[in-house]
């Protein structure tokens, strides 16, 4: 009979236990003993396979990165992108993928180098997807491609990071299948049709941001330099006689 120390599934079981506990409690909140207990092994066996708690975390990071980014080598015009497709698959069966969802949320928000790299990769891939979509005519050109990519990538993470509040606002317990279903059409409506019927607000913002106020004189009013709705300059004081 194969011993637990040589069984390849033991390593996976330890990693899966760590993934679940790091995601639900955070790295500092889950001890090696906790992980060992969940995996039904000894703490010594955890160390035998991974050497340290930090190395175990690194393997969990790598697993999530592969899930989110490693399934496609390139993006094709018209596809949603790696994050969107992974989130769609995870959200379709929240209970099965709960550990991965929790871990990704922690990874993005905990300020770790791995989390920073993951977000940067998400933004880069989103920007490539939008550029290909614009080139094919399926998407609009952006005035600021990098900022647009940041906004779209962040929007894709909102259900994950704000799961509790999102569910609570619509009377659901987190990301239930009903909540995910309800998000689908409003999200696509925003991306497809936009929100405003008029371009007035956009045009006013463009005019304000394009302004080049004379900063040597200070703002023209208390509304600030460059504000399209600011008050006119007060009349100049008459010059005094020499």
User: How many other CB atoms sit within 10 Å of the CB of residue 60?
Assistant: 25
The answer to whether residue 218 is domain-embedded is no
The answer to whether residue 78 is domain-embedded is yes
Give the range of the structural domain holding residue 124, as residue numbers without chain letter. 8-161
167 to 26, 140, 159, 183, 218: CA distances (angstroms):
22, 31, 9, 11, 47
User: 233 is written with which tokens?
Assistant: 């300059």
The answer to whether residue 204 is domain-embedded is no
User: How many other CB atoms sit within 10 Å of the CB of residue 128?
Assistant: 15
Calpha distance 163→179 (Å, rounded): 10
pTM strictly above 0.75 = no
Calpha distance 192→184 (Å, rounded): 12
The answer to whether residue 62 is domain-embedded is yes
Domain count, the chain: 1
The answer to whether residue 224 is domain-embedded is no
Burial of 90 (0-12, 13-18, 19+ CB in 10 A): buried
DSSP letters spanning the chain: ---TTT-HHHHHHHHHHHHHHHHHH-TTT--HHHHHHHHTS-HHHHHHHHSSHHHHHHHHHHHHHHHHHTT-SS--TT---HHHHHHHHHHTTTTTTHHHHHHHHHHHHS--HHHHHHHHHHHHHHHHHHHHHHHHTSS---SSHHHHHHHHHHHHHHHHHTHHHHHHHTT-SSS-HHHHHHHHHHHHHHHHH-S-S-SHHHHHHHHHHH----TTS--SSTT-TT-TTPPPPPPPPPPPP-
The answer to whether residue 106 is domain-embedded is yes
The answer to whether residue 238 is domain-embedded is no
pLDDT truncated to tens, each residue of the chain (242 aa)?
334 544 658 999 999 999 999 999 999 999 999 999 999 999 999 999 999 999 999 999 999 988 887 654 433 333 444 566 777 777 777 778 889 889 999 999 988 899 999 999 889 989 999 999 999 999 999 999 999 999 999 998 898 899 999 999 999 998 888 898 898 899 999 999 999 999 999 999 999 998 755 444 444 445 555 555 555 555 555 555 54
| 28-51 tens-digit pLDDT | 999 999 999 999 999 999 999 999
The answer to whether residue 173 is domain-embedded is no
| 79-102 tens-digit pLDDT | 444 566 777 777 777 778 889 889
CATH number, domain of 61, equals 1.10.357.10
């Amino acid at each position: 009979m194969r011993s637990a120390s040589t069984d390849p599934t033991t390593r996976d079981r330890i990693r899966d236990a760590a993934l679940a506990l790091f995601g639900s409690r955070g790295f500092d909140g889950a001890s090696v003993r906790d992980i060992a207990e969940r995996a039904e092994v000894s703490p010594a066996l955890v160390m035998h396979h991974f050497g340290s708690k930090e190395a175990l975390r690194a393997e969990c990071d790598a697993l999530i990165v592969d899930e989110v980014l490693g399934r496609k080598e390139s993006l094709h015009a018209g596809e949603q992108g790696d994050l969107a497709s992974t989130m769609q698959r995870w959200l379709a069966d929240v209970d099965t993928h709960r550990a991965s969802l929790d871990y990704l949320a922690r990874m993005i928000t905990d300020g770790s180098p791995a989390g920073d790299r993951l977000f940067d990769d998400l933004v880069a891939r989103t920007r490539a997807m939008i550029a290909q979509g614009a080139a094919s005519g399926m998407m609009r050109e952006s005035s600021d491609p990098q900022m647009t990519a940041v906004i779209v990538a962040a929007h894709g993470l909102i259900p994950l990071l704000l799961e509790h509040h999102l569910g609570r606002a619509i009377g659901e317990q987190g990301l239930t299948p009903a909540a995910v279903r309800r998000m689908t059409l409003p999200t696509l409506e925003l991306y497809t049709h936009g929100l405003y019927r008029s371009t007035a607000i956009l045009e006013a913002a463009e005019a304000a941001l394009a302004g080049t106020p004379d900063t040597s004189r200070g703002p023209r009013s208390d509304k600030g330099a460059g504000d399209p709705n600011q008050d006119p300059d007060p009349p100049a004081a008459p010059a005094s006689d020499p």
